[in-house]
Chain A
């Protein structure tokens, strides 16, 4: 028993020290990014500003709860017209509840990838919080004193953006800028973390801008007002019953 444990502990220690000393491989960098970005469980309040090309701007405020990329619940607080509208995500299913009509609609398949409220954030983007490491092969393309550029390439073509380029800040291990590209590696969207905050040992972006690289002058800003990590949710939190409550 003991003989089995020693090498394991050793290798773990070794790994940890390597990580803390300096992350070297792309995978390691990605792991660190994921550690900040992946939400095992969290509760937040946020605003989303959708800026459309003709200068129209729409503001949405909502509260959300997430558990990894499996469960999610979101409720709009603003604008008044949307107030009370809730989104429930369970695995690959998404339901939207409209309190005015007291009606629930299920969003399926490719509809999941539609932009929410005309913005650049898809339902999927909003509710997905999985680790990138699981889905991409990573390589380092360039390094400077302060930043590392990591290229991600999808193992298959099942993700929205098969190619991604992450500009990671060495100090915080957070991506400052992400360029998302299509199946032919043509850039589609750029995500910029404009502001980050420290929450315990985690650094998390609180102001993010998603800009379309195809449509001129179209962007969405996502600002976290308040977030708590590692929240324990009662088991019924992510149910149709709570959606239609």
Chain B
């Protein structure tokens, strides 16, 4: 207790120095908290978008499909109708739908774009994916009538609008080229670049016709009760319906998750450097404090304060700086993240640039208790480590010299 009290008093006495030192750390930790909030928000939004428009909860593919660099029609699922009715009667499966996806060209006048042609089940798709509900202009795909939906980015890239006629050119499974000319009936806007920029949606039956593959699909996508259970459900399905290659969402989003982790690491390094600077500041302050208070250290030692107790006084000083800085950072950081969480950080400046996340328009940071607490603890640990040296030095000094010369 006396160690904390002395530490606290000393901090109060050198108020300016304390404020300066803890400000540096507080800024570092605030940046960390905001940054993590940003990352957490980005991850959450990304995952939401990925699940809603891309990877669903669980998917089934034909074996070998996922091994291709650019998945084509070489490995497709057949007997899709019976597979779907089997899934409909399976526990844990809330909804299931089939999609047939292939590479192709979208042609409109003099414009020609590489795209993914995605055949969607007009009835079932909406129970698994949000894609068909992401129509912002025109209407969605309602039946097997040959119509197309395109993303808003793709549309604006080549000046497409609702009612325009486009031609799709694909390579069918056997190899022959196949084309269809059909009207665009709706424009999609989801936030996921794959939907908004790189895909054209058509009714599943049309896609099958174009691929010359009746009753086939490149994937069956499933919605489960909870995203968290997808891994489990995937394994269960693999057991009860062997044959297809079953994958849970996090497996499919692997690239994204790896990327997110990488960004986290990269940003972590930047923050670590920032924090290190702050820690150097603390270390410096603490060494200065030990230096200034040598005679005091000698006096306390003469009174019978043990060297470890002396060390603890300085350790506490550092810790308190960390506590002050951490508390300030938590308050400021949480406030900033909350504000940004409501107002969002516009991505307009990035324009159509691919920022590597399935997100656009704005990022909404979120407060994640784990992130905030770990930032706080990180600050404490950092300040503890920073004051370690000074503390050791204070504890190790010789009493006689400290008293006589005022130096350790």
Contact = CB atoms under 8 A, between A and B. Distances in A.
Interface of A: 53-54, 109-111, 113, 154, 156-162, 182-184, 186, 188, 214-218
A184 B174 contact: no
Given A111-B70, A161-B176, 5 more contacts: A110-B103, A183-B176, A188-B169, A214-B167, A215-B107
Contacts of A216: 109-110
A183 B178 contact: yes
B110 A158 contact: no
Interface of B: 68, 70, 72, 74, 103, 107, 109-112, 167, 169, 171-172, 174-179, 212
A53 B176 contact: no
B110 A54 contact: yes
Contacts of B74: 109
A55 B68 CA distance: 36
A188 B179 contact: yes
Contacts of A183: 172, 176-178, 212
Label chain A's interface by main secondary structure: loop
A184 B212 CA distance: 10
Nearest to B114: A114
A212 to B, nearest CB: 8
Contact of A218 (B103, B112, B177, B178): B112
Contacts, number: 66
A188 B110 contact: no
A130 to B, nearest CB: 14
Contacts of B112: 53, 214-215, 218
A214 B178 CA distance: 12
Contacts of A186: 179
A109 B102 CA distance: 13
A53 B167 CA distance: 16
A214 B166 CA distance: 10
Chain B CB within 10 A, most for which of A113, A159, A183, A218: A183
B146 to A, nearest CB: 12
B172 A157 contact: yes
Given A109-B74, A214-B169, A215-B110, A182 B177 contact: yes
A114 B370 CA distance: 49
A113 B171 CA distance: 9
A239 to B, nearest CB: 25
B174 A157 contact: yes
Contact of B176 (A109, A154, A214): A154
Nearest to B112: A215
B110 A182 contact: no
Given A109-B72, A184-B179, A218-B110, A158 B174 contact: yes
A186 B109 CA distance: 17
Nearest to B73: A110
B172 A53 contact: no
Nearest to B109: A216
Contacts of B179: 182, 184, 186, 188, 214
Contacts of A188: 169, 177, 179
Contacts of A214: 107, 112, 167, 169, 179
A214 B172 CA distance: 17
A157 B212 contact: yes
Contacts of B167: 214
A92 to B, nearest CB: 11
Contacts of B110: 53-54, 215-218
A184 B112 CA distance: 21
